Structure 1
Amino acid sequence: MSITLRQMRAFSVVARTASFTIAARQLNLTQSAVSMLVQQLEDTMGLKLFDRTRNAITLTEAGRQLLPLARRMLDDLRQIEEGASDLRTLRSGMLRVVAPQLMACTWVAGVLGRFEQAHPTVGLRLVDATADDIVGTVRRGDAELGIGPERPTGDDVTRSFLMNVPMRLVCAASHPLAERQTVSWHELRDERWVVYSGDFSRYVEQRLHEHDTSLSMQTATEVSYLTTALALVGTGMGVATVPDYARGFAGNFGIRFIALRAPALNREFFVYQRRGLALSPAAEAFAQMLRRAGTRRGAAAQAA
């Protein structure tokens, strides 16, 4: 027979109260049950813990020496129980998220702000990366959740749909198209493009060819980050197609956002996580908040 927590609790309370009767009331047990638990503990350890007389119950020398250890173990257990409760109720924990750089400082930042207001004692680690690095960051365990456009996942990472994001043409404020509300891809045949992701460029080319095999993008410059692409577009080095959530930076870079047509492009965004691994309570709560926000954003984009 192994030592149980019920036995250790009974031993500790009887030692504190010096009474099986009082201990039984505090433990919500019968007196005989408390006596049995203490007897089982003594039998298991091969030590007598209490001297029992008609008028008193006192600790033996072995009982006095073992009592601090028992109380320390019960206190550690209490701390574990409290810690687990804090994690479940989001009074503690750590949220680790990775998102594309510009998405991280725009749309994701807004959702994180609402999450922090709801759960101010949960810590946060936000990794801002390129869209091509999202899956790898989740795979390495550097983030529990990833947010980003469609990318190959392999067998160890899974994804779930989050939202559709409209793609817009971005040009310099001085560009001849800058005052237009919409522009067709045929009107962009002679434009030079600033490209910020090889995977995204291949996606756009594929969609264009599906619509019209004569459509393509003539690359002028290739960079790693979307913010750099926006800055170069602002200098007049070319145009780019970017997610609509980046329009908050139009004033910073002197650029204009224009709706694309023939074809209009929407990019699917997903939530990524390690396959087969349970999310922490903080990550699960944030994922639910993300999906609600994604649903609202998708509905707003369709209305626009």
Structure 2
Amino acid sequence: MKIDILGVQAFVAIADHGGFQKAAETLYVTQTAVTQRLRNLEDFLGVKLVERTTRSIALTSIGKDFLPQARRLLLELSSTLNEIRETGKARRGDVTLACVPTVGIQYLPQIIQEYSALYPDNRIKILDHASARVAETVLRREAEFGINLAGTNHPELTSVPLMDDQFVLVCRDDHPLARRRSLTWAQIQPYPLIFSGDVNGNRAVLDSYLGSKSLNLTLHFQYEVQRSSTAVGLVASGISAAIVPNLGIQKGSYPRLRIIKLKEPVISRQLALITRKAGHLSPAAQALYDMILRAK
């Protein structure tokens, strides 16, 4: 049902000021506009609210009964609109974002701490998914925005580059390579490795480099897992060394781990912020989005 707010405003103003001209001045419109708004409301309701003569106006009995309700309606509407406006100004509300799991290990925690200090009442929901699922979650409006691997995006998504995350070798301090500060990819070929598989998009990034004609390297991936955190846990148990993104290693969590840079070539995956092209972030989400951009 269509609610004629302009008609209700005109009716209350006429009743409060005792005439059409003063009502028009209060509403900053012409007298003709006030007359038309009242007429539209009366036509919609199918009753007369105001009786008008050449010298005076008076509310009908229905108009008198309706006046308190009309005032309450306008007051509640004004209160609701002000609350929404103040919520927007204060950037209050809940935020849901999606991200690849490694982003939540090192990158997001400090940003979320800063955000929570500024907006302590805002709740944050993080959906940590594989790369393809992150994009799907944003498209389905389950999350307002996401942090994903850069690459070919859905035509309804827009992407803003965020940072590069370099692949490294992680091993335990008793591994034969543990004392090395850096290694070439060719130097790690003889060693069995753990790798997080296709589901997170990392394999495609590595294969595009290592499978090129200039390198044509075949690594010994003896173990395959779904998440980098699982790979790191296996390394800490002494199973094998692993190839993981640098962000996938939580500093200080496993004192015996060693992180070794890989070169020739240096291979990184690029992370990006993704949003729906036709979407608009809530004020609370926009504040977090901007904070992430400033931190890059």
Q: TM-score, normalised by structure 2?
A: 0.81
Q: TM-score, normalised by structure 1?
A: 0.80
Higher deviation after alignment, 271-280 or 215-224: 271-280
Cα distance, 1:235 vs. partner?
A: 1.8
1:58-116 Cα shifts (integer Å, max 9, x gaps): 64311122223322432343244224413532443331101122322421122222222
Question: What is the CA–CA distance in structure 2 between the aligned matches of 1:238 and 1:211, rounded to whole Å?
Answer: 28
Question: Taking structure 1 as reference, are residues 154 and 18 closer, same or farther at Cα in structure 2, changes over 3 Å only?
Answer: closer
Q: Is the 8 A contact 1:205 1:217 kept in 2?
A: no
Cα distance, 1:29 vs. partner?
A: 4.5
Alignment-derived partner of residue 299 in structure 1: none
Cα distance, 1:231 vs. partner?
A: 0.4
1:210-248 Cα shifts (integer Å, max 9, x gaps): 384342221111111111111011122222222222343
What is the CA RMSD across the aligned residues, in angstroms?
Answer: 3.2
Cα distance, 1:249 vs. partner?
A: 3.9
1:94 aligned partner, one-letter code: D
Question: Taking structure 1 as reference, are residues 128 and 90 closer, same or farther at Cα in structure 2, changes over 3 Å only?
Answer: farther
Alignment-derived partner of residue 66 in structure 2: 66
Question: What is the CA–CA distance in structure 2 between the aligned matches of 1:18 and 1:52, rounded to whole Å?
Answer: 16
Aligned residue runs from structure 1 range 16-31, under 5 A: 17=16, 19-20=18-19, 27=26, 29=28
Question: Taking structure 1 as reference, are residues 150 and 11 closer, same or farther at Cα in structure 2, changes over 3 Å only?
Answer: same
SS, match of residue 243 in structure 2: strand
Alignment-derived partner of residue 194 in structure 2: 194
Identity percentage of aligned residues: 24
Count of equivalent residues: 288
Question: What is the CA–CA distance in structure 2 between the aligned matches of 1:58 and 1:107, rounded to whole Å?
Answer: 68
Question: Taking structure 1 as reference, are residues 109 and 174 closer, same or farther at Cα in structure 2, changes over 3 Å only?
Answer: same
Alignment-derived partner of residue 86 in structure 1: 86
SS, match of residue 261 in structure 2: strand
Cα distance, 1:5 vs. partner?
A: 3.8
Question: Taking structure 1 as reference, are residues 29 and 185 closer, same or farther at Cα in structure 2, changes over 3 Å only?
Answer: closer
Question: What is the CA–CA distance in structure 1 between the aligned matches of 2:252 and 2:19, rounded to whole Å?
Answer: 75
1:43 aligned partner, one-letter code: R
Question: Taking structure 1 as reference, are residues 85 and 187 closer, same or farther at Cα in structure 2, changes over 3 Å only?
Answer: same
In structure 2, list runs of 5 or more residues that go unmatched. Answer: none
Q: Is the 8 A contact 2:6 2:37 kept in 1?
A: no
1:167 aligned partner, one-letter code: F
Higher deviation after alignment, 130-139 or 230-239: 130-139
Cα distance, 1:135 vs. partner?
A: 1.5
Alignment-derived partner of residue 273 in structure 2: 271
1:118-147 Cα shifts (integer Å, max 9, x gaps): 233333221122334212222232212110
Alignment-derived partner of residue 153 in structure 2: 153
1:60 aligned partner, one-letter code: T
